[in-house]
């Protein structure tokens, strides 16, 4: 095994370290999300109150992506990734206080730390791939991005299942303690293994350069914001609470079903290059993003109609969710490739950080709307808003370049 690893190129070894860090982090992140949703729902919190627990998670994700890209360019992506791992251990440790101290503000604070950690880790992982792939190897870049993103989301799904299972088997405190201990070991390994100064820009960027100057990246970031808002407006809070309260599913069923969904979603992301036709050597462009967004927008409309008219509601919701997940995975994978392709070589994390700032903003909008709209109007309205967001995504995608462009106006 050691001989095999030694024979690999330095780029491949670093890719494996980056991917392993991302996997470990994602597993705990997905489990923590499910633990918080199910634990506090069991304590009697309303959907809107549960959504508010994640408010700072998303808010600080917006800020972190904007500033984190600048930090990555100045300090190196190895440092920002390791800082992210450490902060996630800290966020988990914050939830180990006695139950009497586990108040809403305290949980929101822990989620804020977790949000900073998650987006530092993701920005570092996605940015580093640009530096590990040879220049002009667009097909390989798309493949590596798809593998990283798809495997991450498959593990996030496993994290959902893990969260529901650990809550049932070990209780809230036992689950948190186990995850914090395991991730601390990963953090120590990462400190030793990651290449020094990975992704550090040759020319130190100024803080004023955190906003993208690229028209392509600005349009793609706007499309990404509405795309992820369209998912989270019904998936984050509304769906798990609906499955529990309307269909009577217990924690195992909810966690297992959502885990299966996200694992399948991650699998489709991983094979997106084959689905979108890049096997022939043609890299995707703005036309692909537009076309796949239009197809995706049909699904929430059909599910919303079935719920409104009570036409095989449970079967249509489950089937529609599976189809939505597959189509959304292709859309997400296309966007993930395009941002890394559009990003500049020097200080790549600046462009990627700006893009994932928009991604976090979409999650923030979707999370808040998910709790509010579901509580006051129901799941069908969440789905109509989802369809509207996807329509906006498609309109913005019309402006995306039809071929690779440079990162300047």
What integer is the mean pLDDT of 388-403?
91
Neighbours of 205 (CB within 10 A): 18
- Structure confidence at residue 76 (pLDDT): 75
Domains of the chain in sequence order? 10-199+207-397 (1.20.1250.20)
Q: Sign of torsion, CA 269 270 274 277?
A: positive
> Tell me: the pLDDT tens digits for 235-279?
878 888 888 888 888 767 777 787 788 788 888 888 888 887 654
- CB neighbour burial string for 300-329, b if at least 16 within 10 angstroms, e if fewer: bbebbebbeeeeebeebbeebbeebbbbbb
Give 3-state DSSP helix, strand, coil % of the chain, rounded to 5. 80, 0, 20
Rounded CA-CA distance 328/336 in Å is 12
What the block records as the tokens of 68 is 């984190």
If you write DSSP's letter for every residue of 182-241 in order, what string do you get?
HHHHHHHHHHHHSPTTTT--SSPPPGGGGS---HHHHHHHHHHHHHHHHHHHHHTTHHHH
Q: Locate 54 and state its tokens.
A: 């994640």
CA nearest neighbour of 344 among 198, 214, 232: 214
Burial tier of 257 (Cβ tally within 10 Å: 0-12, 13-18, 19+): buried
pTM summary value: 0.72
Q: What does the pLDDT read at residue 349?
A: 59
How much is the pLDDT for 217? 85
- Determine how many CB atoms are found less than 10 A away from the CB of residue 147: 19
């Amino acid at each position: 095994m050691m001989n095999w690893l030694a024979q690999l190129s330095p780029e491949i070894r670093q890719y494996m370290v980056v991917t392993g860090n991302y996997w470990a982090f994602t597993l705990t992140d997905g489990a923590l999300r499910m633990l918080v949703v199910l634990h506090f729902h069991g304590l009697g919190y309303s959907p809107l109150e549960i959504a508010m627990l994640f408010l700072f998670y998303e808010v600080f994700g917006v800020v972190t992506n904007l500033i984190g890209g600048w930090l990555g360019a100045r300090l190196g992506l190895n440092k920002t990734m390791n800082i992210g791992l450490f902060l996630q251990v800290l966020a988990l440790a914050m939830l180990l206080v006695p139950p009497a101290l586990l108040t809403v503000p305290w949980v929101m604070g822990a989620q804020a730390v977790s949000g900073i950690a998650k987006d530092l880790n993701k920005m570092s992982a996605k940015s580093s791939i640009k530096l590990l792939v040879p220049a002009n190897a667009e097909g390989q870049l798309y493949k590596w991005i798809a593998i990283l993103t798809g495997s991450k989301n498959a593990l996030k799904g496993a994290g959902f299942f893990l969260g529901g299972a650990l809550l049932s088997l070990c209780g809230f405190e036992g689950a948190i303690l186990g995850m914090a201990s395991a991730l601390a070991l990963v953090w120590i390994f990462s400190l030793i293994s990651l290449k020094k100064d990975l992704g550090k820009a040759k020319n130190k960027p100024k803080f004023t350069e955190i906003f993208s100057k690229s028209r392509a990246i600005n349009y793609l970031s706007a499309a990404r914001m509405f795309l992820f808002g369209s998912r989270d407006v019904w998936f984050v809070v509304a769906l798990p609470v609906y499955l529990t309260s309307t269909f009577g599913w217990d924690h195992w069923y909810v966690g297992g079903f959502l885990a299966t969904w996200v694992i399948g979603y991650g699998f489709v992301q991983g094979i997106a290059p084959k689905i979108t036709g890049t096997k022939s050597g043609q890299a995707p462009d703005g036309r692909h993003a537009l076309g796949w967004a239009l197809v995706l927008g049909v699904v929430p409309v059909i599910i919303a109609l079935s719920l409104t008219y009570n036409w095989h509601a449970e079967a249509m919701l489950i089937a529609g969710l599976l189809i939505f997940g597959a189509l959304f995975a292709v859309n997400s994978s296309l966007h993930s490739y395009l941002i890394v392709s559009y990003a500049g070589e020097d200080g790549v994390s600046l462009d990627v950080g700006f893009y994932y700032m928009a991604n976090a903003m979409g999650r923030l909008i979707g999370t808040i709307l998910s709790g509010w709209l579901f509580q006051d109007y129901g799941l069908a309205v969440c789905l109509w808003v989802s369809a509207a967001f996807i329509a906006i995504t498609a309109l913005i995608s019309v402006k995306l370049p039809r071929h690779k462009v440079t990162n300047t106006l």
